[in-house]
Structure 1
Amino acid sequence: MTAYSNLAAHFGRIAALSNAVGILQWDSDVMMPKGAAETRAESTALLHVLRHGMVSDVRIGDWLGEAEGDVSLGEWERANLREIRRVWTVETALPADLVEASSKAVSACEMRWRQARAEADFAGLLPYLGEVLNLQRQIGAAKGEKLGLSPYDALLNDYEPGGSAAKIDTLFDDLAAFLPGFTQEAMEVQARRPALEPLGGPFPTETQRALGIRLMAALGYDFERGRLDISTHPFCGGADNDVRITTRYDEADFTKALMGVLHETGHALYEQGRPQGYLNQPVGAARGMSIHESQSLLMEMQACRSRPFLDFAAPLMRESFAGTGPAWESEAMWRRYTRVEPGFIRVDADEVTYPAHVILRYRLEKALIACDMPLAELPAAWNEGLKSLLGVTVPNDRLGCLQDIHWPSGGWGYFPTYTLGAMTAAQIFDAACTAEPGILPGIGKGDFAPLVGWLRAHIHGRGSLLPTDALLTEATGRPLDAGVFKAHLRRRYIDEA
């Protein structure tokens, strides 16, 4: 076997192990009985340690050295070597006992978070979250030392390879200055229109689920390689060719869960569209979380909150719930789905105020990793920050700092990718609609094939062949440009309103 074939076989086995971890994690979040938590934590921790040992195998360095000199390798194989070296370099920074300790701490913290969130009990979560944070600081420091990065940038690198706090600070400070005035302007335009009539209800969960599945199919989701379930926090997970999504339902309001399903379907379409020939190799992986979030936000925000889509979907909603009256017309649905209203919950936030939720979390996690703020002060800092950014007063920690699973699950450095993804989504959708004039008319008929086909060719099927900036430039003709996102907001919430 050649050095490259040794690497490919080795990382194929790593992918198989990662797939097992993915299904166990999905089961923990969706179906696992509470009493199994401790045993599951031990199993998952062992698998993480085994995976770490495989990714940090000393033979990889020798194989890389030899394979990188092989002039017979093609473009995809060379890109695979680049990605293997990247993940190997990061993984060799961590000792196995730190990987195991972090996995166990995360398992315990996630289970305690579910109870703490339900009871609005931050004090009960504090020791568990403190342990996760302590270990994340150690992980960030170890990776940072190996990569020549700050601890926060080293953690960010896991989700956004090549990203930096300095770049994000510039983008987010600009948005934080732009959004308050724009939000006020959008709400003034909104206030001049007649009030929306209520939709009524209740909306049975099974009917919501059936409508969600119908629209998932319209978007192109492959049910032969996935499923829809319920979890406390909606997510897309599972394994290669087994891409599972979840949502949560509210029988008083079907609109939130439905858009949650469409959001996660965007993630799933990306996973289902990755290059099959390299599915078990690092080069076949999704290209970072800002690109991944762009795919969910492109489907939810750009496509499925557009007038063409709601012209198609409103009659299906009306039919599903036997709705009557003007509240069920497509224009009313468009107004409902583009309503700007500052609130507490990130996943329920409108497109205009959503970035404020992300900016808050980004600033707080950066301060916590840098030890610039004690963890015990998180609720007060959260409440003060949200008041400053959105003018809302948080009534309790369940609606405040306990609402997200990311920090309990060890996802430090993840949050900024949501708003980077929103900007990226606007830019990709604009480029796609310009290149393929049939996309918007197709969406208006429930035909997403032109859009998904373009995404398969320019994003999904490219995997990690290119670094993020190069991928975006290839697909859209330019690197990330926040001006496209701002122009989209102005067009939708001011010009079209």
Structure 2
Amino acid sequence: MTGQTAYQELEALFQKVHHFTHLSSMAYWDSATMMPPGGSKARGQALAEVSSLINDLVGSRKTGDLIEKAETARDGLSDWQQANLREMQRQHFNASSVNSELVRAHALASSRCENAWRELRMENNWKDFEPLLSEVIDLTREQAAIRSEASGLSPYDALLNLYEPGQSSSTIDTVFARLKAYLPDFVKQTVEQQKGEVLIRPSGSFPREKQRALALDLMKAVGFDFNHGRLDSSHHPFCGGVPEDVRITTRYTEDDFSESLMGVLHETGHAKYDQGLPGAWLSQPVGQPRGMGIHESQSLFQEMQVCRSHAFLSFAGPLMAAHLSNPETPNACWEADNLYRLYNHVQPDYIRVNADEASYPLHVILRYELEKDLVNGNLKVRDIPEAWDEKMQEYLGLSTRDNYRDGCMQDIHWTHGMFGYFPTYTLGAMNAAQLYHAARKAIPNLEEQISRGDFEALNHWQSQAIWSWGSYYSIDELMLQGTGETLNPDYFIHHLQQRFSPL
């Protein structure tokens, strides 16, 4: 077998993996949106089996042999094929480091934990949730130890690299330390500064169907492709599926439409990235998104940089009024100045997904610090509520004592064993601010275009800077070619200073 033939066999194998991933993602989407509760056990077993199957395919000795053989023909491969082979190697290493039985056990425990979480969180029932989460964390630690030994990284960094390839907790610690030093006082100052603002809050009832109709109009306006995606509802908002079939979910509160609307626009940012990935490489590793920090940058670029801007709210206000006006809500509510104050009002709160842009990173830092201690064995599961409460009081001035529902049980990520994911939210926020700064330089009248609902130039810029490259570049290389710099937190801090200065 020649090296070129081996490479072609690898492309066929990873295309098969893409198909299995497609089916798995659809089965998960169904479990989160439409599946009857009685189907959870069987669905969890089926998803665990598919996870094990994918791990076997990617991590097999045969795949490793093919990669070694293909390496001999690297000079004869195109630049994209060489990058694809590099990403195949990375995925093979990750899959071969952990045996399929552990993958299956972890998937089953995660499924049990998540399905129970949906009810136990509503009941504020930490007592029954704790043993289920303990099982997930024990299996996660086992995986982390194995990956650590194979990679030479710390246990936590070995997990972090599954979501953010090439990044380390030491680098994140340095960046987050700066935010920890800056944000608490900035949040307090902004809260004080905004006390005199007059906010006209939408009042009355906002039926789900009207909220959904508004969301669909705005998704279409900003460039979501409904021929390759759809919007549904679930307990926890997410964006899933595959680029050819992207699934967005949200959750509705009928007395407050803002939570759902901004959640939809956030997930639309994820979806546009997926839909914009390089079409010729969708079934291959090089065609996949370049890490979750970049993925989160695209959702936060959409939600925070664009959709909470005065320009966007000037465009969206009339649409909001057309869909949601009622006798209890005055017309002044829908004016851009008022909407801007509403959507950029800083008030520390318990719930991460509802947090304002300034305090949100503190929610992420809290989770990052706790999950590092959990993975590294410095924090026991039974002590999570107390540790959570201490950090909430320190960072946000709020106590979650005995309030598990709005405290340590509010997120779905740990039920999945997704340790190493949380820091990507704030890495994404910083990437987004830096990317938007570059977009404004490239498109001088960007705000004027946004104010009239024209997103063509902006979407084209994002495609050229990020979407169309998939995993061709490393994270640092992608930011460098898109903005001229690697990650620089100054852009995020400057953005917050500009965003929260008085109108």
* Same fold at TM > 0.5: yes
Tell me which of 211, 215, 218 is aligned to 1:212.
215
Q: TM-score by structure 1 length?
A: 0.98
Match of 1:58 in 2: 61
Q: Distance between the aligned counterparts of 2:43 and 2:262, measured in 1?
A: 32
One-letter amino acid matched to 1:262: L
Is the Cα contact below 8 Å between 2:314 and 2:451 reproduced in 1? Answer: yes
- Assess if the C-alpha contact under 8 Å between 1:318 and 1:324 holds in 2: no
Conservation of the 8 A alpha-carbon contact between 1:229 and 1:245: yes
1:136-215 aligned at under 5 Å gives the runs: 136-193=140-197, 195-215=198-218
CA contact (8 A) 1:19 1:240 kept: no
Q: How far did residue 239 of structure 1 move?
A: 2.4
1:39 is aligned to: 42
Q: 1:424 aligns with which of 408, 415, 431?
A: 431
Distance 2:258 2:24 in 1: 32
**CA positional deviation for 1:189:** 2.2
- Matching residue's letter, 1:121: N
Question: Whole-Å Cα distance in 2 between the matches of residues 181 and 96 of structure 1?
Answer: 48
1:44 Cα deviation after fit: 1.0
Q: Tell me how far apart the structure 1 counterparts of residues 446 and 84 of structure 2 sit (CA, whole Å).
A: 32
**CA distance in structure 1 between the partners assigned to 2:148 and 2:27 by the alignment:** 29
Shift of 1:256: 1.2
Q: 1:469 & 1:280 partners in 2: Cα distance? A: 24
* Partner secondary structure for residue 2 of structure 1: helix
Q: Distance in 1 between matches of 2:23 and 2:358?
A: 38
Match for residue 341 of structure 1 among 333, 336, 347: 347
Match of 2:391 in 1: 385
| Alignment partner of 1:457 out of 457, 464, 475 | 464
Please report how far the alpha carbon of residue 77 of structure 1 lies from its aligned counterpart in structure 2 after TM superposition: 0.4
Correspondence 1:27 to 2:44: no
**Shift in Å at residue 301 of structure 1?**
0.2
2:479 touches 2:487 (CA, 8 Å); kept in 1? yes
RMSD between aligned residues: 1.1
Residue range with higher mean Cα deviation, 206-215 or 64-73: 64-73
Q: For 1:356-395, what aligned pairs fall within 5 Å after superposition? A: 356-394=362-400
Match of 2:284 in 1: 281
Q: CA deviation at 1:328?
A: 2.0
Deviations 1:367-395 (A, max 9, x none): 11111111011111111111110101226
- Unaligned 5+ segments in structure 2 are none
Letter in 1 for 2:331: G
- Which secondary structure state, in structure 2, belongs to the residue aligned with residue 53 of structure 1? helix
Alignment pair present for 1:305 and 2:308: yes
Match of 1:95 in 2: 99
Question: What's the counterpart of residue 487 of structure 1?
Answer: 494
Deviation at 1:57, TM superposition (A): 1.8
2:415 is the counterpart of 1:408? yes
Instruction: State how far apart, in whole Å, the 1-side matches of 2:97 and 2:465 are.
Output: 33
One-letter amino acid of the counterpart of residue 469, structure 1: D
Identical aligned pairs, as a percentage?
A: 46
Residues 192-236 of structure 1: per-residue CA shift (max 9 Å, x gap):
33x312311111110000000000000100111111000111000
Aligned residues: 495
Partner of 1:453, secondary structure, is helix
- Which string of whole-angstrom CA distances, capped at 9 and with x for unpartnered residues, describes residues 402-421 of structure 1? 11000001111100000000
Q: 1:20–1:239: 8 Å Cα contact kept in structure 2?
A: no
Alpha-carbon distance between aligned partners in 1 of 2:26 and 2:461, rounded to the nearest angstrom: 30
> 1:135 Cα shift?
0.4
CA distance in 1, matches of 2:429, 2:285: 25
SS in 2 for 1:244: strand
**Matches of 1:14 and 1:43, distance apart in 2:** 16
- Aligned amino acid, residue 366 of structure 1: K
Instruction: Note the C-alpha offset of 1:74.
Output: 0.9
Q: Is the 8 A contact 1:265 1:296 kept in 2?
A: yes
Larger displacement relative to structure 2 (112-121 or 68-77): 68-77
How far the C-alpha of 1:324 sits from its partner, in A, is: 2.8
Residue 109 of structure 1: how far off its partner (Å): 0.5
Query: Conserved in 1, the CA contact under 8 Å of 2:201 and 2:342?
Result: no
- SS of the aligned residue for 1:402 comes to coil
CA-CA distance at 1:327 after TM superposition: 2.1
Counterpart secondary structure, 2:214: helix
8 Å Cα contact 1:394/1:400 also seen in 2: yes
On the 8 A contact 2:57/2:63 being kept in 1, the answer is no
Partner of 2:230: helix, strand, or coil? Answer: strand
**Aligned residues of 2:277 and 2:288 also touching (Cα < 8 A):** yes
CA distance in 2, matches of 1:308, 1:23: 36
Aligned to 2:114: 110
1:185 CA drift (Å): 2.0
Matched-pair contact (CA < 8 Å) for 2:274–2:467: yes
C-alpha distance in structure 2 between counterparts of 1:19 and 1:439, whole Å: 36
Secondary structure of residue in 2 paired with 1:227: strand
**Alpha-carbon distance, 1:61 to partner:** 2.0
Amino acid at match of 1:141: A
